[in-house]
Amino acid sequence: MPRLEIDLSKIHHNTRTLVDRLASKGIAVTGVTKAALGDPEIARAMLQAGVDSIGDSRIENIQRMREAGVAAKFILLRTPLMSQVEQVVQYADISFNTEPSIVESLGRMAVGKHKLHQVVLMVELGDLREGILPQDLENVVRRVLQYPGIQLIGLGTNLACYGGVKPDIEKMTQISDLAKLIESRFDLPLPLVSGGNSANFEWFSRCLKVGAINNLRLGESIFLGRETLERQPIEGLHTDAVTLVAEVIESKIKPSLPYGEQCQTAFGARPIFQDRGAIRRAILGIGRQDVDISGLAFVTEGMEVLGGSSDHLIIDCQRRPLHVGDEVKFRPNYAAMLAAMTSPHVAKVLHWTPESDEESFPACPQTDISPPSHSAGLGSWPLN
């Protein structure tokens, strides 16, 4: 305790449902494992459900999956660090790039290792995270094509992450047209045109033609069953594949208002409190060091998060008395799940739902990810 409970059967179901739905318009899925720190069993569940490739932002996570024997095409989604080009060439089949100098270094490393490293160039379409400006794209392509050891295989873009810019029909038409332009101008086939992430679900649902786009990178919609523009549930997907469980370490009736002279909290805030009189409060053994407490929703209604410090989460139990040792369950949003996954103080427990309906959750082949007889820690199942 505390722990994240991850239902692999629901991850598998969500992945398979999205893969089938997107395939109806010719779009393949890259399963994104960065929120799970590249857990090999989660990657296997995605692969068995039909993803085309596995993508991650950290080369260390890709290395972890490689060394665990996960057989997949691996894509490094974040522009490589110059200091990690050797690892990128060794462990990633494809990397997303925006800087010619890094691509040149990847090429030199690939030549030295007698490899050919594939790259996708990311294009800036307004979200202002990573990307080459459209007016600079032809010059960058021209440079990249001169680098030995490098094969340019596609274009991509990223929206709704930093600036919250919507991947609408206009933006998707723009990246599609740019791909067609580069193919024509350089007589160069681009087999991979990646239009975005889980935020693209509305665009996909409404568009009649996807143009040149043939790939989406999905993480949050697989893990949490939601699109990421308004965080609405996606029909047919599970929204409860991930549960955070924390333990009660104190339960008392206390005043709702602190007393004494107030200054800053440990995190530099000056909180405002509402006078509710004496309330039934519980403290859970988890805190801001482990999770984004603003991203937690109670599984059971009738409680409220009041706040927290580094190692304590304080809740108003309202009319639900809790006792020391009791467990409280939450549905984390993406930010909370990502933080909890990263914390070494939060156990990760993977399990397969034994009562899953076969039509919804077909049995996975025994060769890769058969459910164990008991819950296992993250990545601790035996590999076949």
Residues carrying an active site annotation:
34
**What are the phi and psi torsion angles at 121 (to 5°)?**
-90, 130
Longest dimension (CA), the chain: 74
CA distance 49 to 47: 5
Residue pair 195/167 in contact (Cβ under 8 Å)? The answer is yes
Q: Which amino acid is at 357?
A: D
Residues paired with residue 215 on neighbouring β-strands, in sequence order: 28, 194
The closest of 354, 345, 347 to 377, measured between CA atoms, is: 347
CA distance 171 to 157: 9
Structure tokens belonging to residue 264:
């800053």
Give the CA distances from residue 199 to residues 174, 218, 321, 347, in Å, rounded to whole numbers and listed in that order.
Answer: 17, 9, 39, 29
The closest of 247, 256, 238, 189 to 353, measured between CA atoms, is: 238
